Amino acid sequence: MTLSQEAEAPADEVVLEAIGLSKHFPVRRKLRDLFNRTHDAVHAVDDVNLILRRGRVTALVGESGSGKSTVARLLAQLYPRTDGDIKLHGLSTRVRGGRQFRRYAARVQMIFQDPFASLNPVHTIRYHLTRSLKIHGNAGTNAEELEAALASLLNRVHLTPPERYLDKFPHELSGGQRQRVAIARALGADPEALLADEPVSMLDVSIRLGVLNLLRDLKERLNLAILYITHDIASARYFADDTMVMYAGRMVEGGDSETVTQSPAHPYTQLLIDSAPDPDRIENLLGDHADRGNGEPPSLINPPSGCRFHPRCPMAMPRCSRELPTRLEIGDQPGHWAACWLYDPATVAAEKPGSAAVDYSPEAVAVAENAHPEEVR
């Protein structure tokens, strides 16, 4: 395997870009739906914009069902998209069929949540890694070169000495070791981008950090662009350079991880952070802050109008159920934005003149609303 490609590419170079990406899954619930014209669809992903850069980890955070895996699968070209574009190095790409897919997969690799399901139990580690190296033309020209490439893959994911692991079967390894093999297999393609879909959420808490540190190390050494999908916003802060927050199929906030996690702007991000650091405790997720709604993510067949978070939002204004919020700059740090009407200058201007800090308490927002005739219900 060569590292020349990585060494030459400048850090921060845009590798992969999603523009207005959407995915609707058709649903047909009854036979008679076949004969009428209405086609229901799950609006799993709508109008998602995302950029992956070399040498950077971008986290995609949101609760279960928010569309994170669908975004990853679209970016990996495992699904055709309903709308929008995916650009690889600025070139629009739409993959159809085996050879095109293989060429794309040589540059964009995916790592799945469950390392046991993603490895074939009847094959050894050697088989999995050899196959990946061969498919992508990185296996060398003779047995020695192949052996060296295999050893180098296992060394990279810190499974050493390699000969201890090569001839094992997946069930002989721990969950963390299996996920390292899955990462090594992805590296067998010598990719530029890794799409990691909740790569540590099925692992024991005690070994999660080790796998995240490995990914960070690979990002730095191989100058990889990494999409890190998680429902755990605390881990995004630890591990990701940039963080994007998704709710019910739409992006609601983005910026550098420090800013998004320390000064969250969108009420949904605030809810996620208040329910950290223990996202596994469901009662936390459904805590005080969800008191405006029933705390459930909405149906994606008939998503809420306007801002999809409005039924659950403690700050919701009348406008929020009518108009889809656009990306608005927060202004505290460059690149920090939220799709939330609280940050619309029109809302801000309605605050009392002379007040330095904007007061976003529900009372203050209600006052601001009333000052705007068009905002009154």
Ligand X SMILES: Nc1ncnc2c1ncn2[C@@H]1O[C@H](COP(=O)(O)OP(=O)(O)O)[C@@H](O)[C@H]1O
Note the residues at the interface with ligand X (CB under 6 A).
25, 42, 44, 62, 64-70, 300
CB of 67 to ligand X, least distance (A): 4
Taking CB under 5 A as the criterion, the residue among 22, 58, 66, 69 binding Mg ion is 69
372: helix, strand or coil: coil
Phi, psi of 79 (to 5 degrees): -125, 145
CB under 5 to 8 A by kind: which of ligand X, Mg ion, none does 127 bind?
none
Burial class (CB in 10 A: 0-12, 13-18, 19+), 287: middle
DSSP character at residue 326: P
- Binding region for Mg ion (CB under 5 A) out of 39-47, 62-70, 136-144, 296-304: 62-70
Between 244 and 368, whose beta carbon lies closer to Mg ion?
244
CB of 321 to Mg ion, least distance (A): 28
Calpha distance 238→257 (Å, rounded): 8
CB under 5 to 8 A by kind: which of ligand X, Mg ion, none does 65 bind?
ligand X
Name 69's Cβ contacts closer than 8 Å, sequence gap at least 6: 197, 198, 229
Between 72 and 157, whose beta carbon lies closer to ligand X?
72
Cβ 278 vs Cβ 284: under 8 Å: yes
CB of 87 to ligand X, least distance (A): 21
Residue nearest to Mg ion (CB): 69
With CB under 5 A as the rule, give the number of residues binding Mg ion.
Answer: 1
The two structure tokens encoding residue 319: 């406008």
Between 68 and 107, whose beta carbon lies closer to ligand X?
68
CB of 41 to ligand X, least distance (A): 9
Between 75 and 215, whose beta carbon lies closer to ligand X?
75
Calpha distance 310→248 (Å, rounded): 11
CB of 371 to Mg ion, least distance (A): 42
Cβ 33 vs Cβ 40: under 8 Å: yes
Between 69 and 347, whose beta carbon lies closer to Mg ion?
69
| Nearest CA among 83, 18, 29 for reference residue 52 | 18
CB of 260 to ligand X, least distance (A): 18
Calpha distance 229→231 (Å, rounded): 7
| Nearest CA among 292, 299, 301 for reference residue 270 | 292
C-alpha dist (Å) from residue 145 to 141, 153, 173, 188, 206: 6, 12, 25, 13, 36
CB of 315 to ligand X, least distance (A): 23
Between 64 and 155, whose beta carbon lies closer to ligand X?
64
CB under 5 to 8 A by kind: which of Mg ion, ligand X, none does 300 bind?
ligand X
Phi, psi of 203 (to 5 degrees): -95, 155
Between 201 and 263, whose beta carbon lies closer to Mg ion?
201
C-alpha dist (Å) from residue 176 to 149, 167, 172, 226: 22, 17, 12, 19
Between 66 and 109, whose beta carbon lies closer to ligand X?
66
> Strand order of the sheet with strand 242-247?
108-111, 193-197, 225-230, 56-61, 242-247, 250-256, 337-338, 328-329
CB of 68 to ligand X, least distance (A): 3
CB under 5 to 8 A by kind: which of Mg ion, ligand X, none does 66 bind?
ligand X
CB of 42 to ligand X, least distance (A): 4
Cβ 231 vs Cβ 285: under 8 Å: no
CB under 5 to 8 A by kind: which of ligand X, Mg ion, none does 67 bind?
ligand X
Between 78 and 106, whose beta carbon lies closer to ligand X?
78
Q: Where do we find the tokens 């739906």?
A: 33
CB under 5 to 8 A by kind: which of Mg ion, ligand X, none does 62 bind?
ligand X
Report which residue type is found at 231.
H
CB under 5 to 8 A by kind: which of ligand X, Mg ion, none does 169 bind?
none
Binding site for Mg ion (CB under 5 A): 69
